[in-house]
Amino acid sequence: MAKLADMADNHRVAILAIRHLTKGGKLKAIYRGIGSIDLTAACRSVLMVGFDPDNPQDRGIVQIKSNLAPMGEAIGYQLRDSSFFWTGESDLTCERMLSAEDSGSKSALSEAVDFLKSELADGPRETSQIWKDAIDADLAKATVKRAKSQIGIITRRQGEAGKKGGGKFIWQLPKDDLGDQAAHNKEFDTLNNPDIKHDRFPKPKDHHDFDPQMRVSSMCRKSCGNCQKL
């Protein structure tokens, strides 16, 4: 690589190398070019070209390495009617483009949708924690925002008692997307269900089915033969 760099310096030219991607699965974008990692290390700038797995007509050029200047914004383009069209700055990321290259993998948007539904399955959560979990899951911020919009997630501010302007933002699933979880929460709501709020166990539907082996008299609020035997 040193000889190639010397040649470029002597002739005052830039050398452009075009490489295909490996089927690297979970490998980071910087390691996905075919050939030695030395090729990437020797380059001052590395660009990745690909398309949006959810909108294949939207393509882009994303910088994944830059030694001489700050990382540039992704630039979009489209191929229509045998013509090339620039579409300006793009929200495409290398992660989203790689998800299209990895055969058999789910789209980045689908993964983000599943991620958010899982995060909020047990109820509303603080926004800051969701973003931290998204970073740990290698999900791009733009993709998570698109998934949030697709699901219809509700954002609301949860205030703190005695603090004006305090509190935190939380996300929650729309009511139609809660499904069985909403029924589950209602059944075991210890705040609003008096049977669970005041007793260790909920009251049986039929107190005559009370099992004397359990020895919990609070489960039966009426006087019956079973309770009198305890």
Mean pLDDT value across residues 133-143? 86
Question: Would you place residue 180 in the very low, low, confident or very high pLDDT band (cuts 50, 70, 90)?
Answer: very low
Write out pLDDT tens, residues 188-203.
444 444 454 444 444 5
CA–CA separation, 48 and 59 (whole Å):
11
Mean pLDDT value across residues 125-130? 92
- The candidate with the shortest Cα–Cα distance to 65, out of 128, 19, 123, 106, is 19
Q: What burial class does residue 208 get, using C-beta atoms within 10 Å of its C-beta: 0-12 exposed, 13-18 middle, 19+ buried?
A: exposed
Q: What is the mean pLDDT of the chain?
A: 76
Domains annotated for the chain, with CATH where assigned, are 2-101 (no CATH), 108-177 (1.10.10), 188-224 (no CATH)
**Of 22-26, 61-65, 99-103, 209-213, which gets the smallest average pLDDT?**
209-213
- Find out whether 106 and 53 touch, Cβ atoms under 8 Å: no
For residue 100, what pLDDT is reported?
67
Question: Would you place residue 183 in the very low, low, confident or very high pLDDT band (cuts 50, 70, 90)?
Answer: very low
Model confidence, pTM: 0.44
The CB density around residue 39, as the number of other CB atoms within 10 Å, is: 15
Write out pLDDT tens, residues 61-102.
999 999 989 999 999 999 999 899 999 999 999 888 887 665
For residue 64, what pLDDT is reported?
93
For residue 31, what pLDDT is reported?
78
CA–CA separation, 21 and 176 (whole Å):
41
- The candidate with the shortest Cα–Cα distance to 96, out of 53, 61, 144, is 53
Residues 6+ positions from 224 with CB-CB distance below 8 Å: 207, 208, 210
The CB density around residue 93, as the number of other CB atoms within 10 Å, is: 23
Question: Would you place residue 184 in the very low, low, confident or very high pLDDT band (cuts 50, 70, 90)?
Answer: very low
Tokens 């190398």, located at residue: 17
Tokens 């290259």, located at residue: 101
Which helix (H) or strand (E) segment is 40 a member of? Answer: helix 37-42
The more confidently predicted of residues 13 and 157 is 13
